[in-house]
Each structure stands twice: as structure tokens, then as C-alpha cells.
Amino acid sequence: MPPAEMWESFFDPAGILDALGCRGLQGDAVEFGCGHGTFTIELALRVSGTVYALDIDPSMLAATTARAKQARTGNIVVEQRDFVSAGSGRPDGSVAFVMLFNILHIEHPVALLRESHRILREGGAVSIIHWRRDIGTPRGPPLDIRPKPEQCRLWAEEAGLRFQTMPDLPDSPWHWGMLLERRG
């Protein structure tokens, strides 16, 4: 991860969450890979329940914890977790919203999407953003491992999620976004 100041120059967290339909959510949310907490605080302001901010990197957890304390939102639980191998630790059907931001270039993306489906309640949403691979970007993983939106949609459908939309992401020319939901 680049320094927080650089990282955050790539995103408009409020605009992205608005574009992905994250407003006035009733219930809990899970953020897989919270990083610096760039989206964590904004998400916490939009949910009635708890935001579970998960990451494996202790330095990212410390950064997110510091931001959460500074924001005084009171509804963020920061947890060190290898969710790729151990899952989220959340019960079946227990969350309203899941964020998978810049993470689906992992080795087994369908497994993470299945975990998202498992913890998502009926009618809940999964949001994805990722670095584009059709243009040069200032950061991001190597182009050859960045997933295409079409591939993510296929993976999501394989995991039991249903495609909703691919909105434009404001002030984020280097990313694409997708919203999925759990039905049935």
C-alpha cells in the first residue's frame, strides 16, 4: 500500500459509496481488506449497525483503528483476520452490505465471493471496485492479474450473487464499480 495521502487521492469515498447504493443501510457491514480505512469511516456513517473492518496487515489495522477513534463513530470493529483462508468470522445471513474493494485479484476470488454470499442476508448487497486494466493507472496490481468486470460478474454469479448495476464512479477515473445482491 502506498502512503495514505497518496492512496486517498485516488478515490472519492462518499461518491463511490453513493454510486454503489450505500445509503441509510439497516444492519451490519463487512469490509474485506480495510487498508488505511479510506472507506471505513464513510461506511460507518451509512449503516445502522456495526462495520467489521477486516485486514491481515497490522499496520493497516492500526491506521484504521486510529481513524475510527478520531472519527468517534462508535460502530467500527477492526479485526486482524486472514479472511482468504479463515473466512470473515460472521454468522450466516448476518450482514446487509459487503465491500470488496481492490481485492479480487487474489488467487481464489470465487471463494471470497462465496464467503460474501454466505454472510449476506437476503436482499443484501455486495459492492466491488477494482483498478481498470484498459488504461494506465498510478497504482494497483500488475495489469495481468487485474480482473475484468465481466470476469468478476461471472465469478459473482458462480458464487450465487445476482448482478445489479455497474455505475460510473465519481472522481475515480482509474476504477470500475459493480453492485450485486443476494437473492435466494
What is the predicted pLDDT for the residue at 22? 87
Query: Looking at residue 6, what is its pLDDT?
Result: 61
**Residue 101: left (phi > 0), alpha (psi -120 to 50), or beta?**
beta
Interhelix angle for 109-119 vs 149-158, to 10°? 50
Domains of the chain, first to last: 4-182 (3.40.50.150)
Q: Mean pLDDT for each 10-residue chunk of the chain (184 residues)?
A: 64 90 91 91 94 95 93 94 94 97 90 97 95 84 90 96 95 92 84
Q: What pLDDT is recorded for position 43?
A: 95
Is residue 74 helix, strand or coil? coil
pTM to 2 decimal places? 0.92
CB 52 within 8 A of CB 75: no
The DSSP line for 35-59 is: TTSTTHHHHHTTBSS-EEEEES-HH
